[in-house]
Copies of this chain bind each other. A is one copy, B any other.
Amino acid sequence: MDKDKIDKKDHILDVAERVFSELGFDGASTRTISGEAGVNMAMLNYYFGSKEGLFLAVFKRKIISFQDLLKNIGSDGTTTAWNKIEKYIELYTQRVVTNNCFQKLLYQELSMQRRGELSDQITDILMRNVSEVAKILQDGIKSGEFNKNIDVELVIATIYGTKNFIVNSPQLTSKVLGYDIQNEKLLEEKFKPRIQAYLKTLLRSYLMNEHDNTTK
């Protein structure tokens, strides 16, 4: 049945996403992926053409959900810039919790500039996210809600970077934080509220308190 075929492809993509996330593109062999997915090696090439084709398929499937989520952010005209930032932090951290394997894979791949076409696609999509946040910040400056001297671009680097550091080096951060970042339950119950509260306090301090930031 056609449904079975789609389910199987989807299952392979699920497994591939996890294995790629854990081992990277090079480290994840087609044998490992097919083995863990419970399918014959040849099926990967049969369905996706090549290892790289499989990798791209994993990404494209996710990319679609990216773009849908994007539309709900920043378009609300009835609230303050700070409320938008808070809302964004909440949405963003939630997505990290539920997709942290993929998030890791995403920035892993982005940091290896090999496979140029793919890197360009990822960059373009992430740029839309970035532009959205930048717009919120700039609106907040214009309205006087935020300090006029803030470094918009580096604030964005802090939001994404703080999260990435934790997600992409779980071995290190688990040691630093004192609990296992890779445990889903702990991630949801302990990490999520903590980083949400932290990012809100950190950004409110920087964006809304008085300080001189003459150099830029």
- Distance between Cα atoms of A216 and B199 in the complex (Å): 11
**Inter-chain contact B104/A172, CB cutoff 8 Å:** no
Q: Which chain A residues numbered 47 to 95 have a C-beta less than 8 Å away from chain B? A: none
Residue among B26, B161, B164 making CB contact with A27, cutoff 8 Å = B26
Determine the chain B residues whose CB is within 8 A of the CB of A134 once the complex forms: 176
Do A172 and B216 contact each other (CB < 8 Å), given the known contacts A26-B27, A164-B164, A205-B209?
no
Q: Is A111 an interface residue (CB 8 A)?
A: yes
Listed in ascending order, the chain A residues whose CB lies under 8 Å from chain B are 22-24, 26-27, 104, 107-108, 110-114, 119-120, 123, 126-127, 130, 134, 151, 153-154, 156-158, 160-166, 168-173, 175-178, 193-195, 197-198, 201-202, 204-206, 209, 211-216
Query: What 6 A-B pairs have minimum CB-CB distances, sorted nearest first?
Result: A161-B165, A26-B26, A161-B161, A197-B215, A205-B205, A111-B168
| Copies per assembly | 2
**A213 and chain B: residue at smallest CB distance:** B201
**Inter-chain contact A198/B151, CB cutoff 8 Å:** yes
**Inter-chain contact A211/B216, CB cutoff 8 Å:** no
In the complex, how many angstroms separate the beta carbon of A199 from the nearest chain B beta carbon? 8
**Inter-chain contact A176/B114, CB cutoff 8 Å:** no
**Inter-chain contact B176/A156, CB cutoff 8 Å:** yes
Determine the chain B residues whose CB is within 8 A of the CB of A104 once the complex forms: 111
Do A162 and B157 contact each other (CB < 8 Å), given the known contacts A22-B113, A27-B114, A206-B205?
yes
In the complex, how many angstroms separate the beta carbon of A146 from the nearest chain B beta carbon? 12
